Structure 1
Amino acid sequence: MEKGLVVITGASSGFGKEMARVFHDAGHPLLLIARRTELIEALNLDNVMIRKVDVTDADAFQSSVNEAVAQFGPVDLLINNAGVMLLGNIWNQDPQEWQTMINVNVSGVLNGTRSVIESMIERESGTIINISSIAGFKTFTNHAVYSATKYGVHALSETLRQEISGSNVRVLVLSPGAAETELLSHTSNQKIKDDYVVWKDTMGGYSMDPRHVANAALMMFSLPQEVSIRELVIAPTKQDN
Protein backbone atom coordinates (compact mmCIF):
# COMPACT_ATOMS: atom_id res chain seq x y z
CA MET A 1 0.00 0.00 0.00
CA GLU A 2 1.34 3.43 -0.97
CA LYS A 3 2.25 5.58 2.03
CA GLY A 4 0.87 9.10 2.35
CA LEU A 5 2.65 12.44 2.58
CA VAL A 6 4.09 13.47 5.95
CA VAL A 7 4.95 17.12 6.64
CA ILE A 8 7.43 17.84 9.44
CA THR A 9 8.43 21.31 10.61
CA GLY A 10 11.67 22.06 12.42
CA ALA A 11 13.18 19.09 10.59
CA SER A 12 16.80 20.18 10.72
CA SER A 13 17.64 19.06 14.27
CA GLY A 14 16.41 17.41 17.45
CA PHE A 15 13.01 15.73 17.34
CA GLY A 16 12.34 16.90 13.79
CA LYS A 17 15.51 15.39 12.37
CA GLU A 18 14.83 12.05 14.04
CA MET A 19 11.21 12.10 12.87
CA ALA A 20 12.41 12.69 9.33
CA ARG A 21 14.58 9.58 9.58
CA VAL A 22 11.91 7.44 11.22
CA PHE A 23 9.10 8.33 8.81
CA HIS A 24 11.44 8.04 5.83
CA ASP A 25 12.43 4.55 6.95
CA ALA A 26 8.72 3.73 7.28
CA GLY A 27 8.32 4.51 3.57
CA HIS A 28 6.55 7.89 3.60
CA PRO A 29 7.22 10.71 1.15
CA LEU A 30 8.16 13.78 3.16
CA LEU A 31 7.94 17.54 3.08
CA LEU A 32 10.65 18.71 5.46
CA ILE A 33 10.49 22.33 6.54
CA ALA A 34 13.21 24.26 8.36
CA ARG A 35 15.32 27.37 8.11
CA ARG A 36 18.61 25.44 8.00
CA THR A 37 17.92 23.24 5.02
CA GLU A 38 21.56 22.29 4.58
CA LEU A 39 21.30 20.16 7.72
CA ILE A 40 18.36 18.26 6.22
CA GLU A 41 20.15 17.77 2.92
CA ALA A 42 23.03 16.17 4.84
CA LEU A 43 20.67 13.35 5.87
CA ASN A 44 20.67 12.13 2.22
CA LEU A 45 17.03 11.01 2.26
CA ASP A 46 15.15 10.15 -0.91
CA ASN A 47 11.51 10.78 -1.86
CA VAL A 48 11.74 14.05 0.05
CA MET A 49 10.96 17.70 -0.67
CA ILE A 50 12.99 20.14 1.42
CA ARG A 51 11.89 23.75 1.74
CA LYS A 52 13.38 26.69 3.62
CA VAL A 53 10.35 28.16 5.36
CA ASP A 54 9.86 30.22 8.50
CA VAL A 55 6.75 28.72 10.10
CA THR A 56 5.61 32.21 11.12
CA ASP A 57 5.17 33.02 7.41
CA ALA A 58 1.71 31.62 6.65
CA ASP A 59 1.90 32.23 2.90
CA ALA A 60 5.27 30.50 2.53
CA PHE A 61 4.04 27.59 4.63
CA GLN A 62 0.94 27.15 2.49
CA SER A 63 2.94 27.44 -0.71
CA SER A 64 5.34 24.68 0.34
CA VAL A 65 2.45 22.38 1.30
CA ASN A 66 0.71 23.02 -2.02
CA GLU A 67 3.90 22.19 -3.89
CA ALA A 68 4.41 18.94 -1.98
CA VAL A 69 0.77 17.91 -2.43
CA ALA A 70 1.10 18.45 -6.19
CA GLN A 71 4.04 16.04 -6.22
CA PHE A 72 3.15 13.46 -3.58
CA GLY A 73 -0.60 13.68 -3.02
CA PRO A 74 -2.63 14.77 0.03
CA VAL A 75 -1.09 15.29 3.45
CA ASP A 76 -1.76 12.29 5.68
CA LEU A 77 0.18 13.66 8.63
CA LEU A 78 1.37 17.09 9.74
CA ILE A 79 3.81 17.23 12.64
CA ASN A 80 3.98 20.75 14.05
CA ASN A 81 7.38 20.32 15.64
CA ALA A 82 9.19 23.64 15.11
CA GLY A 83 9.70 25.47 18.39
CA VAL A 84 12.02 27.68 20.39
CA MET A 85 12.75 27.73 24.11
CA LEU A 86 14.10 31.04 25.40
CA LEU A 87 14.09 30.62 29.17
CA GLY A 88 14.14 33.59 31.50
CA ASN A 89 12.32 35.66 34.10
CA ILE A 90 9.60 38.06 33.01
CA TRP A 91 11.13 40.98 34.90
CA ASN A 92 14.50 40.89 33.14
CA GLN A 93 13.98 39.04 29.87
CA ASP A 94 13.95 40.88 26.56
CA PRO A 95 10.27 41.09 25.49
CA GLN A 96 11.38 40.30 21.95
CA GLU A 97 12.21 36.81 23.21
CA TRP A 98 8.65 36.49 24.46
CA GLN A 99 7.34 37.47 21.04
CA THR A 100 9.65 35.05 19.25
CA MET A 101 8.31 32.15 21.32
CA ILE A 102 4.70 33.21 20.77
CA ASN A 103 5.27 33.58 17.03
CA VAL A 104 7.01 30.24 16.51
CA ASN A 105 5.42 28.04 19.17
CA VAL A 106 1.83 29.18 18.74
CA SER A 107 1.42 31.03 15.44
CA GLY A 108 3.62 28.45 13.70
CA VAL A 109 1.28 25.67 14.83
CA LEU A 110 -1.74 27.65 13.66
CA ASN A 111 -0.16 28.33 10.26
CA GLY A 112 0.72 24.68 9.77
CA THR A 113 -2.72 23.50 10.84
CA ARG A 114 -4.50 25.92 8.55
CA SER A 115 -2.42 24.76 5.59
CA VAL A 116 -3.79 21.20 5.77
CA ILE A 117 -6.99 21.17 7.79
CA GLU A 118 -9.62 21.90 5.13
CA SER A 119 -8.34 19.12 2.88
CA MET A 120 -8.33 16.68 5.79
CA ILE A 121 -11.90 17.57 6.74
CA GLU A 122 -13.05 17.18 3.13
CA ARG A 123 -11.35 13.76 2.86
CA GLU A 124 -12.48 12.75 6.36
CA SER A 125 -8.97 11.52 6.99
CA GLY A 126 -5.71 12.91 8.28
CA THR A 127 -3.68 13.42 11.43
CA ILE A 128 -2.05 16.40 13.08
CA ILE A 129 0.52 15.82 15.82
CA ASN A 130 1.44 18.93 17.78
CA ILE A 131 4.71 18.69 19.67
CA SER A 132 4.21 20.32 23.03
CA SER A 133 6.17 19.74 26.25
CA ILE A 134 5.83 18.67 29.84
CA ALA A 135 5.98 22.45 30.37
CA GLY A 136 2.63 22.60 28.58
CA PHE A 137 0.74 21.23 31.57
CA LYS A 138 3.01 21.92 34.56
CA THR A 139 5.17 24.87 35.47
CA PHE A 140 8.90 25.25 36.01
CA THR A 141 10.92 28.23 37.17
CA ASN A 142 12.37 30.35 34.34
CA HIS A 143 9.76 28.88 31.95
CA ALA A 144 6.88 31.39 32.31
CA VAL A 145 6.52 32.46 28.69
CA TYR A 146 7.69 29.18 27.21
CA SER A 147 5.13 27.35 29.35
CA ALA A 148 2.47 29.84 28.34
CA THR A 149 3.07 29.00 24.68
CA LYS A 150 3.01 25.26 25.31
CA TYR A 151 -0.13 25.50 27.46
CA GLY A 152 -1.52 27.32 24.43
CA VAL A 153 -0.60 24.41 22.17
CA HIS A 154 -2.54 22.08 24.46
CA ALA A 155 -5.58 24.38 24.47
CA LEU A 156 -5.71 24.94 20.72
CA SER A 157 -5.16 21.21 20.08
CA GLU A 158 -8.00 20.14 22.35
CA THR A 159 -10.34 22.78 20.95
CA LEU A 160 -9.55 21.75 17.38
CA ARG A 161 -9.98 18.08 18.27
CA GLN A 162 -13.48 18.77 19.58
CA GLU A 163 -14.35 20.76 16.47
CA ILE A 164 -13.24 18.22 13.86
CA SER A 165 -13.37 14.79 15.49
CA GLY A 166 -16.69 14.18 13.75
CA SER A 167 -14.82 14.42 10.44
CA ASN A 168 -12.56 11.51 11.45
CA VAL A 169 -9.50 13.79 11.61
CA ARG A 170 -7.11 13.19 14.49
CA VAL A 171 -5.48 15.96 16.53
CA LEU A 172 -2.84 14.50 18.84
CA VAL A 173 -0.40 16.04 21.32
CA LEU A 174 3.05 14.63 22.05
CA SER A 175 4.67 16.11 25.15
CA PRO A 176 8.37 15.32 25.71
CA GLY A 177 10.33 15.85 28.87
CA ALA A 178 14.04 16.66 28.96
CA ALA A 179 15.81 15.53 25.81
CA GLU A 180 19.15 15.88 24.05
CA THR A 181 18.19 18.59 21.56
CA GLU A 182 19.30 22.13 20.72
CA LEU A 183 16.39 23.75 22.55
CA LEU A 184 18.40 24.89 25.57
CA SER A 185 21.01 26.51 23.33
CA HIS A 186 18.37 29.07 22.29
CA THR A 187 18.42 30.51 25.83
CA SER A 188 20.55 33.62 26.20
CA ASN A 189 20.87 33.47 30.01
CA GLN A 190 24.07 31.56 30.81
CA LYS A 191 23.18 30.94 34.47
CA ILE A 192 19.99 29.17 33.43
CA LYS A 193 22.00 27.01 31.06
CA ASP A 194 24.52 26.18 33.79
CA ASP A 195 21.77 25.33 36.27
CA TYR A 196 20.21 23.00 33.70
CA VAL A 197 23.49 21.09 33.40
CA VAL A 198 23.57 20.68 37.18
CA TRP A 199 19.95 19.45 37.14
CA LYS A 200 20.68 17.04 34.31
CA ASP A 201 23.44 15.50 36.45
CA THR A 202 20.65 14.18 38.70
CA MET A 203 19.64 12.00 35.74
CA GLY A 204 23.17 10.74 35.18
CA GLY A 205 24.26 13.59 32.92
CA TYR A 206 22.08 12.54 29.98
CA SER A 207 18.40 13.16 29.41
CA MET A 208 16.49 11.45 26.56
CA ASP A 209 17.47 10.46 23.04
CA PRO A 210 15.16 12.36 20.63
CA ARG A 211 14.85 9.16 18.60
CA HIS A 212 12.46 7.83 21.24
CA VAL A 213 10.17 10.81 20.70
CA ALA A 214 10.27 10.21 16.94
CA ASN A 215 9.34 6.57 17.44
CA ALA A 216 6.48 7.63 19.72
CA ALA A 217 5.14 9.90 16.97
CA LEU A 218 5.25 7.03 14.48
CA MET A 219 3.44 4.77 16.93
CA MET A 220 0.67 7.34 17.48
CA PHE A 221 0.21 7.81 13.75
CA SER A 222 0.35 4.10 12.93
CA LEU A 223 -2.78 3.25 14.89
CA PRO A 224 -5.99 2.96 12.83
CA GLN A 225 -7.56 6.28 11.83
CA GLU A 226 -10.52 5.62 14.12
CA VAL A 227 -8.22 5.51 17.18
CA SER A 228 -6.61 8.58 18.78
CA ILE A 229 -3.96 8.79 21.44
CA ARG A 230 -5.08 12.28 22.36
CA GLU A 231 -1.93 12.98 24.35
CA LEU A 232 1.24 11.09 25.07
CA VAL A 233 3.83 12.20 27.62
CA ILE A 234 7.34 10.77 27.23
CA ALA A 235 10.27 11.58 29.50
CA PRO A 236 13.42 10.10 31.03
CA THR A 237 12.59 7.64 33.78
CA LYS A 238 14.88 9.54 36.16
CA GLN A 239 13.22 12.89 35.50
CA ASP A 240 11.34 13.51 38.73
CA ASN A 241 9.34 16.60 37.73
Structure 2
Amino acid sequence: MQLKGKTALITGASSGIGEATARHLAKAGAHVVLAARRKERLARLAKRIQDETDVQVLTVATDVTKREQMEALVRQAEEELGSVDILVNNAGVMLLSFLEKDKVDEWEQMVDVNIKGVLFGLHAVLPGMLKRRDGHIINISSVAGHEVFPSSSVYSATKYAVRALSMGMEKELARSGVRVTNISPGAVATELTHHITDTDVTDRFAKQSLTPLESEDIARSIVYAVTQPENVNVNEVIVRPTNRRS
Protein backbone atom coordinates (compact mmCIF):
# COMPACT_ATOMS: atom_id res chain seq x y z
CA MET A 1 0.00 0.00 0.00
CA GLN A 2 2.84 2.37 -0.85
CA LEU A 3 0.49 4.77 -2.64
CA LYS A 4 -2.23 4.92 0.01
CA GLY A 5 -3.80 8.37 0.07
CA LYS A 6 -2.58 9.24 -3.44
CA THR A 7 -4.77 9.73 -6.50
CA ALA A 8 -3.66 8.55 -9.94
CA LEU A 9 -5.29 9.66 -13.19
CA ILE A 10 -4.81 7.32 -16.15
CA THR A 11 -5.76 8.26 -19.71
CA GLY A 12 -6.51 5.52 -22.21
CA ALA A 13 -7.63 3.41 -19.24
CA SER A 14 -10.22 1.32 -21.06
CA SER A 15 -7.79 -1.33 -22.33
CA GLY A 16 -4.20 -2.47 -22.62
CA ILE A 17 -1.47 -0.69 -20.69
CA GLY A 18 -3.90 1.86 -19.23
CA GLU A 19 -6.23 -0.80 -17.84
CA ALA A 20 -3.37 -2.83 -16.35
CA THR A 21 -1.77 0.29 -14.87
CA ALA A 22 -5.01 1.34 -13.20
CA ARG A 23 -5.36 -2.07 -11.56
CA HIS A 24 -1.73 -2.17 -10.38
CA LEU A 25 -1.82 1.38 -8.99
CA ALA A 26 -5.07 0.58 -7.16
CA LYS A 27 -3.50 -2.54 -5.66
CA ALA A 28 -0.65 -0.29 -4.46
CA GLY A 29 -3.26 1.78 -2.61
CA ALA A 30 -3.91 4.70 -4.97
CA HIS A 31 -7.39 6.01 -5.71
CA VAL A 32 -7.76 5.92 -9.48
CA VAL A 33 -9.39 8.18 -12.05
CA LEU A 34 -10.14 6.24 -15.23
CA ALA A 35 -10.33 8.31 -18.41
CA ALA A 36 -11.11 7.09 -21.93
CA ARG A 37 -13.84 7.40 -24.53
CA ARG A 38 -15.43 3.97 -24.02
CA LYS A 39 -17.79 4.35 -21.04
CA GLU A 40 -18.83 0.70 -20.87
CA ARG A 41 -15.27 -0.53 -20.62
CA LEU A 42 -14.46 2.03 -17.96
CA ALA A 43 -17.47 0.86 -15.95
CA ARG A 44 -16.35 -2.79 -16.16
CA LEU A 45 -12.84 -1.88 -15.08
CA ALA A 46 -14.13 0.24 -12.21
CA LYS A 47 -16.20 -2.68 -10.92
CA ARG A 48 -13.24 -5.03 -11.14
CA ILE A 49 -11.01 -2.62 -9.20
CA GLN A 50 -13.70 -2.11 -6.57
CA ASP A 51 -14.08 -5.89 -6.23
CA GLU A 52 -10.31 -6.32 -5.81
CA THR A 53 -9.46 -3.30 -3.62
CA ASP A 54 -11.00 -0.73 -1.27
CA VAL A 55 -9.77 2.37 -3.13
CA GLN A 56 -12.04 5.01 -4.62
CA VAL A 57 -12.61 4.83 -8.38
CA LEU A 58 -13.83 7.65 -10.60
CA THR A 59 -14.66 7.11 -14.27
CA VAL A 60 -14.88 10.03 -16.70
CA ALA A 61 -15.52 9.64 -20.43
CA THR A 62 -12.81 11.80 -21.97
CA ASP A 63 -11.34 12.58 -25.37
CA VAL A 64 -7.73 13.61 -24.71
CA THR A 65 -7.61 15.60 -27.95
CA LYS A 66 -10.14 18.07 -26.50
CA ARG A 67 -8.47 20.57 -24.19
CA GLU A 68 -11.70 21.49 -22.43
CA GLN A 69 -12.46 17.84 -21.67
CA MET A 70 -9.04 17.32 -20.09
CA GLU A 71 -9.51 20.45 -17.99
CA ALA A 72 -12.95 19.24 -16.88
CA LEU A 73 -11.54 15.79 -16.09
CA VAL A 74 -8.92 17.16 -13.73
CA ARG A 75 -11.38 19.57 -12.12
CA GLN A 76 -13.76 16.70 -11.38
CA ALA A 77 -10.94 14.55 -10.01
CA GLU A 78 -9.81 17.37 -7.71
CA GLU A 79 -13.37 18.09 -6.54
CA GLU A 80 -14.18 14.45 -5.76
CA LEU A 81 -10.79 13.05 -4.67
CA GLY A 82 -8.87 16.13 -3.52
CA SER A 83 -5.93 16.20 -5.91
CA VAL A 84 -4.23 14.48 -8.81
CA ASP A 85 -0.91 13.21 -7.48
CA ILE A 86 0.02 10.98 -10.42
CA LEU A 87 -0.82 11.50 -14.09
CA VAL A 88 -0.25 8.63 -16.50
CA ASN A 89 -0.35 10.09 -20.02
CA ASN A 90 -1.08 6.75 -21.65
CA ALA A 91 -3.67 7.39 -24.37
CA GLY A 92 -2.15 6.78 -27.78
CA VAL A 93 -2.71 5.42 -31.27
CA MET A 94 -0.29 3.55 -33.53
CA LEU A 95 -1.53 3.86 -37.10
CA LEU A 96 1.52 2.55 -38.89
CA SER A 97 1.63 3.03 -42.64
CA PHE A 98 4.12 3.57 -45.42
CA LEU A 99 4.43 7.23 -46.36
CA GLU A 100 3.59 6.53 -50.00
CA LYS A 101 0.07 5.50 -48.88
CA ASP A 102 -0.51 9.18 -47.96
CA LYS A 103 -2.79 8.48 -44.98
CA VAL A 104 -2.88 12.12 -43.92
CA ASP A 105 -5.96 11.74 -41.70
CA GLU A 106 -4.20 9.03 -39.71
CA TRP A 107 -1.05 11.15 -39.40
CA GLU A 108 -3.18 13.96 -38.01
CA GLN A 109 -4.93 11.63 -35.57
CA MET A 110 -1.59 10.44 -34.19
CA VAL A 111 -0.38 14.00 -33.73
CA ASP A 112 -3.62 14.93 -31.96
CA VAL A 113 -3.71 11.95 -29.58
CA ASN A 114 -0.03 11.19 -29.03
CA ILE A 115 1.30 14.74 -28.72
CA LYS A 116 -1.55 17.16 -28.05
CA GLY A 117 -3.17 14.68 -25.65
CA VAL A 118 0.02 14.61 -23.57
CA LEU A 119 0.27 18.42 -23.63
CA PHE A 120 -3.36 18.84 -22.57
CA GLY A 121 -2.80 16.42 -19.68
CA LEU A 122 0.26 18.36 -18.58
CA HIS A 123 -1.64 21.65 -18.89
CA ALA A 124 -4.50 20.39 -16.74
CA VAL A 125 -2.53 18.88 -13.83
CA LEU A 126 0.62 20.99 -13.61
CA PRO A 127 -0.80 24.08 -11.83
CA GLY A 128 -2.08 21.96 -8.93
CA MET A 129 1.12 19.95 -8.69
CA LEU A 130 3.27 23.09 -8.68
CA LYS A 131 1.09 24.67 -6.01
CA ARG A 132 1.48 21.59 -3.78
CA ARG A 133 5.13 21.18 -4.82
CA ASP A 134 4.41 17.49 -5.28
CA GLY A 135 3.34 15.22 -8.12
CA HIS A 136 4.51 12.67 -10.66
CA ILE A 137 3.88 12.72 -14.41
CA ILE A 138 4.34 9.50 -16.38
CA ASN A 139 4.53 9.87 -20.16
CA ILE A 140 4.16 6.73 -22.26
CA SER A 141 6.46 6.98 -25.25
CA SER A 142 7.71 3.89 -27.12
CA VAL A 143 10.81 2.12 -28.34
CA ALA A 144 9.65 3.70 -31.63
CA GLY A 145 10.63 6.97 -29.98
CA HIS A 146 14.23 5.70 -29.97
CA GLU A 147 14.33 3.87 -33.31
CA VAL A 148 12.54 4.40 -36.63
CA PHE A 149 11.56 1.50 -38.87
CA PRO A 150 9.78 1.37 -42.24
CA SER A 151 6.10 2.37 -41.79
CA SER A 152 6.75 4.02 -38.38
CA SER A 153 7.94 7.42 -39.62
CA VAL A 154 4.98 9.48 -38.37
CA TYR A 155 4.27 7.32 -35.31
CA SER A 156 7.94 7.48 -34.34
CA ALA A 157 7.91 11.25 -34.82
CA THR A 158 5.09 11.54 -32.29
CA LYS A 159 6.86 9.29 -29.79
CA TYR A 160 10.16 11.13 -30.23
CA ALA A 161 8.13 14.24 -29.40
CA VAL A 162 6.86 12.64 -26.20
CA ARG A 163 10.44 11.82 -25.19
CA ALA A 164 11.54 15.37 -25.95
CA LEU A 165 8.70 16.74 -23.85
CA SER A 166 9.65 14.40 -21.02
CA MET A 167 13.28 15.50 -21.12
CA GLY A 168 12.32 19.16 -21.15
CA MET A 169 9.85 18.67 -18.31
CA GLU A 170 12.49 16.90 -16.22
CA LYS A 171 14.82 19.89 -16.54
CA GLU A 172 12.23 22.61 -16.04
CA LEU A 173 10.54 20.90 -13.09
CA ALA A 174 13.68 19.50 -11.44
CA ARG A 175 13.44 21.73 -8.33
CA SER A 176 9.66 22.04 -8.21
CA GLY A 177 8.81 18.81 -6.39
CA VAL A 178 7.18 17.42 -9.56
CA ARG A 179 8.84 14.30 -10.91
CA VAL A 180 8.71 13.12 -14.53
CA THR A 181 9.22 9.63 -15.93
CA ASN A 182 9.27 8.59 -19.58
CA ILE A 183 8.28 4.95 -20.18
CA SER A 184 9.24 3.44 -23.54
CA PRO A 185 7.62 0.03 -24.13
CA GLY A 186 8.67 -2.31 -26.86
CA ALA A 187 6.11 -4.57 -28.54
CA VAL A 188 3.14 -5.14 -26.21
CA ALA A 189 0.12 -7.36 -26.82
CA THR A 190 -2.60 -4.66 -26.93
CA GLU A 191 -5.27 -3.37 -29.32
CA LEU A 192 -2.88 -0.89 -30.93
CA THR A 193 -2.11 -3.06 -33.93
CA HIS A 194 -5.82 -3.79 -34.54
CA HIS A 195 -6.38 -0.29 -35.92
CA ILE A 196 -3.68 -0.37 -38.60
CA THR A 197 -5.31 0.02 -42.02
CA ASP A 198 -2.23 -0.38 -44.24
CA THR A 199 -2.42 -4.04 -45.32
CA ASP A 200 1.26 -4.08 -46.26
CA VAL A 201 2.05 -3.34 -42.62
CA THR A 202 -0.39 -5.89 -41.19
CA ASP A 203 1.00 -8.57 -43.53
CA ARG A 204 4.47 -7.74 -42.27
CA PHE A 205 3.36 -8.04 -38.64
CA ALA A 206 1.77 -11.41 -39.37
CA LYS A 207 5.14 -12.79 -40.50
CA GLN A 208 7.00 -11.71 -37.34
CA SER A 209 7.80 -14.29 -34.67
CA LEU A 210 8.37 -11.83 -31.82
CA THR A 211 6.72 -12.73 -28.52
CA PRO A 212 5.35 -9.44 -27.21
CA LEU A 213 5.24 -8.14 -23.66
CA GLU A 214 2.03 -8.12 -21.65
CA SER A 215 0.41 -4.90 -20.45
CA GLU A 216 1.16 -5.93 -16.85
CA ASP A 217 4.89 -5.76 -17.63
CA ILE A 218 4.57 -2.05 -18.37
CA ALA A 219 2.23 -1.46 -15.45
CA ARG A 220 4.82 -2.87 -13.06
CA SER A 221 7.46 -0.50 -14.42
CA ILE A 222 5.12 2.43 -13.79
CA VAL A 223 4.44 1.31 -10.22
CA TYR A 224 8.20 0.98 -9.71
CA ALA A 225 8.78 4.57 -10.86
CA VAL A 226 6.05 6.15 -8.74
CA THR A 227 6.90 4.26 -5.54
CA GLN A 228 10.50 5.40 -5.28
CA PRO A 229 11.55 7.64 -2.34
CA GLU A 230 10.94 11.36 -2.74
CA ASN A 231 14.63 12.01 -3.42
CA VAL A 232 14.63 9.63 -6.40
CA ASN A 233 13.36 10.49 -9.88
CA VAL A 234 13.37 7.63 -12.37
CA ASN A 235 13.73 9.65 -15.58
CA GLU A 236 13.34 6.92 -18.17
CA VAL A 237 12.49 3.24 -18.39
CA ILE A 238 12.81 1.20 -21.59
CA VAL A 239 11.02 -2.16 -21.48
CA ARG A 240 11.65 -4.63 -24.30
CA PRO A 241 10.59 -8.26 -24.81
CA THR A 242 13.34 -10.86 -24.64
CA ASN A 243 11.81 -12.75 -27.57
CA ARG A 244 12.37 -15.93 -25.59
CA ARG A 245 9.54 -18.41 -25.81
CA SER A 246 8.58 -20.45 -22.76
Q: TM-score range by the shorter chain?
A: over 0.9
SS at match of 2:101: coil
- State whether structure 2 residue 222 is matched by structure 1 residue 226: no
Shift of 1:2: 4.1
> Which is worse superposed, 11-20 or 91-100?
91-100
> Which is worse superposed, 6-15 or 30-39?
30-39
Name the CA distance, whole Å, in 1 between partners of 2:128 and 2:44.
Answer: 32
Shift of 1:216: 0.7
Name 2:97's counterpart in structure 1: 88
Q: Deviation per CA, 1:142-195, whole angstroms, max 9, x where unpaired?
A: 000000000000111111111111112111100000010011111101221121
Name the CA distance, whole Å, in 1 between partners of 2:198 and 2:101.
Answer: 10
Q: RMSD value over aligned CA atoms?
A: 1.3
The answer on whether the counterparts of 1:168 and 1:226 sit within 8 Å (CA) in structure 2 is: no
The answer on whether the counterparts of 1:134 and 1:177 sit within 8 Å (CA) in structure 2 is: yes
SS at match of 2:229: coil
Matches within 5 A, 1:103-114: 103-114=112-123
Matches within 5 A, 1:152-171: 152-171=161-180
Name 1:24's counterpart in structure 2: 26
TM-score by length of 1: 0.94
Name 1:71's counterpart in structure 2: 80
Name the CA distance, whole Å, in 1 between partners of 2:159 and 2:134.
Answer: 26
> Which is worse superposed, 70-79 or 127-136?
70-79
Name the CA distance, whole Å, in 2 between partners of 1:235 and 1:51.
Answer: 31
- State whether structure 2 residue 220 is matched by structure 1 residue 215: yes
Q: Deviation per CA, 1:4-38, whole angstroms, max 9, x where unpaired?
A: 11000000011001011111111211111001121
Q: Could you tell me the percent identity over the aligned residues?
A: 38
The answer on whether the counterparts of 1:125 and 1:225 sit within 8 Å (CA) in structure 2 is: no
Name 2:243's counterpart in structure 1: 238
Name 2:128's counterpart in structure 1: 119
Q: Which letter does structure 2 place at the counterpart of 1:129?
A: I
Matches within 5 A, 1:177-188: 177-188=186-197
The answer on whether the counterparts of 1:213 and 1:234 sit within 8 Å (CA) in structure 2 is: yes
The answer on whether the counterparts of 2:7 and 2:84 sit within 8 Å (CA) in structure 1 is: yes
Which consecutive residues of structure 2, in runs of 5 or more, have no partner in the other structure? 51-55
- Give the total of aligned pairs: 235
Name the CA distance, whole Å, in 2 between partners of 1:101 and 1:22.
Answer: 27
> Which is worse superposed, 34-43 or 137-146?
34-43
Name 2:42's counterpart in structure 1: 40
Name 1:8's counterpart in structure 2: 10
SS at match of 1:127: strand
Name the CA distance, whole Å, in 2 between partners of 1:193 and 1:225.
Answer: 44
> Which is worse superposed, 55-64 or 143-152?
55-64
Shift of 1:93: 2.9
Q: Which letter does structure 2 place at the counterpart of 1:89?
A: F
Q: Which letter does structure 2 place at the counterpart of 1:216?
A: S
The answer on whether the counterparts of 1:14 and 1:210 sit within 8 Å (CA) in structure 2 is: yes
Name the CA distance, whole Å, in 1 between partners of 2:15 and 2:203.
Answer: 22
Name the CA distance, whole Å, in 1 between partners of 2:191 and 2:102.
Answer: 20
Name the CA distance, whole Å, in 2 between partners of 1:37 and 1:157.
Answer: 29
Q: Which letter does structure 2 place at the counterpart of 1:114?
A: H
Pick closer, same or farther for the CA change 1:23–1:2 going to 2, 3 Å: closer
Name the CA distance, whole Å, in 1 between partners of 2:195 and 2:180.
Answer: 28
